[in-house]
Amino acid sequence: MLETLTQGFKTAKLKLAGKTRLTEDNISEALTDVRRSLLEADVELGVVRTFLGRVRERSLGEVVSLKAPSTGHGVAKGMKVTPADHFVKICHDELVELMGPVDTSLDLVGHPAVIMMVGLQGSGKTTTAGKIARRLKGDGKSVLMVAADVYRPAAVDQLQTLGRKLDVPVHSVPGMMPVELTKTALAKARASEVDVVIIDTAGRLAIDDTLMGELEQVKAEANPNNILFVCDAMIGQDAVRTAAEFNRRLSFSGFVLTKLDGDARGGAALAIKEVTGKPIKFLGMGEGLDKLEDFRPEGLADRILGFGDVVGLMSDFEKVVDKDTAEKDAAKMLRGEFSFHDFLKQINMIRKMGSMRSIMEKLPGMGDLMSQLPPEALDDREFKKVEAIIQSMTKTERNNPDVVNDSRMERISRGSGRPLQDVRDLYERFNEMRKMMGNLGNSGAFAGMPGMPGGRAQRRQMKNMGGMPPGGMPPGMMPPSLGGMGGMGGMFGGAEDNDMSKEERIALAKKRRAERKARKKNRKKKR
């Protein structure tokens, strides 16, 4: 997501590396790269000029302290900082200012409260309507969805399918026009004491007066509490122009940006709030009905600048796992006692959180490393290969990995349809991980964690120091070494990696790949 922007800011920071102070000349040189990346990411030209002007003004007036006054933005408290660090901090603050302030609230006052979804055809209105319905239902609200996109039968069918999945009623009357359909839906909602009505309106491939006139009539009939403009981030500057016209005619409440996970540019995320003055409320980060994130300017700015997004990652984590179960599983991993069955549970949890790439983007410090990884390392299809191998094991083999021998591997290979070497590689990396995690647990690094050796005093000490994330996330959230079949090494963080520089991590990854190749070669010689 937004790789074009990330690369531009990264290049700008490199231009300032080694500089002892920020000057007009070196700031201009750095901002040239930022400007290029913003334009390539389809950020509207006026917004680009405004952003660069703010950054330039603040950078020239900035007094560079030798030490960071507080924790944040990739700089630890008290550590020595550079003019490049200050420049990045200014860029971060201005990105947050550009996209904020945040307002993810929905006005749900009234019986029923009404949410009207508008936008161009193909922007993701219908799917987003389902995502919002799922969220509201989870909050205990009763919901009625209205299939008011009567010109596209597939849209009606899609909404009805979503309604069945969510167990949410969908109001649709064949042949009835949108305004009349809205009127009858509201009457039905009042009679049934429904809390929220979500109206999925029609879109077009481009703005036209007929479409806008009809939407204005639906708005007049429904008097909606919220009008949400669903915007496909992949259409670039057109998204901003379209949003401005819809806002002029309908005066909507805010945006939902969709398909941001599938676009390397996504400049609409930066420009749309500045141009219209209306807040971005949600981000659609995938096809799943649970893939709707509250918009957080700080989190998106962090990800653009390569800092990760721990808050967003923890939010994803807490949605898919029970805290007590996670703590038990993490403690089991740190004792080196986990099985293939436990590992499969971890894989399924990761898949629920989102794509491997989106998870990696939220991990602090992983931005630079991602570019060094082979493509298969971030390919979610690798999970399916691993799952196929584990599912082809017997119950005994899944629960007792030590019983797996060469003959069993051959049978597992045939059953999973995977090459024997894939099975051997998986088993080898599994044992490496089990040994590494056992050593990490025995080292006392997690002594205060529930289920691990260590007294209450140690746990209190950890708590006072900030403690671990809920559920013992570092060891339990995602399995080291095994995210993909394609040689991901120990990239998810053995203890030895934590204090390494980027160059050291890359060198270690190369060393591990060479060691694996040597072991494969030796096994072939023995056979």
Q: For domain 3-99, give the CATH number.
A: 1.20.120.140
Give the residue extent of every domain in the chain: 3-99, 113-301, 312-526
Distance (Å, whole) CA 118 – CA 116: 6
Q: Which residues of 162-198 are buried (b: 16+ CB within 10 A; e: fewer)?
A: bbeebebbbbbeeebebeebbeebbebbeeeebbbbb
* Token pair 């800011």: residue: 9
Instruction: Share the mean pLDDT of the chain.
Output: 76
Question: What pLDDT was estimated at residue 312?
Answer: 56
Contacts of 491 (CB under 8 A, 6+ apart): 369, 373, 377, 480, 481, 483, 497, 509
| Homologous superfamily, domain 312-526 | Signal recognition particle, SRP54 subunit, M-domain (1.10.260.30)
**Is the CB of residue 219 less than 8 Å from the CB of residue 178?**
no
Question: What pLDDT was estimated at residue 498?
Answer: 39
Dump pLDDT digits (tens) for 452-479: 444 444 444 434 433 333 333 333 333 3
Mean pLDDT of the region 205-218: 85
Question: What pLDDT was estimated at residue 407?
Answer: 93
Statement: residue 210 has pLDDT above 70: yes
Q: Look up residue 75 and give its DSSP letter.
A: B
Residue whose C-alpha is closest to residue 370's, from 6, 105, 30, 5? 6
Question: What pLDDT was estimated at residue 298?
Answer: 83
3-99 and 113-301: same fold?
Answer: no
For the entire predicted model, the pTM comes to 0.62
Dump pLDDT digits (tens) for 135-189: 999 999 999 999 999 888 888 999 999 999 999 999 999 989 999 999 999 999 9
Question: What pLDDT was estimated at residue 172?
Answer: 93
Q: For domain 113-301, give the CATH number.
A: 3.40.50.300
Residue whose C-alpha is closest to residue 164's, from 178, 181, 145, 150? 145
Statement: residue 196 has pLDDT above 60: yes
Phi and psi for 217 in degrees, rounded to 5?
A: -70, -40
Specify the DSSP element, H or E, that contains 293.
Answer: strand 292-294
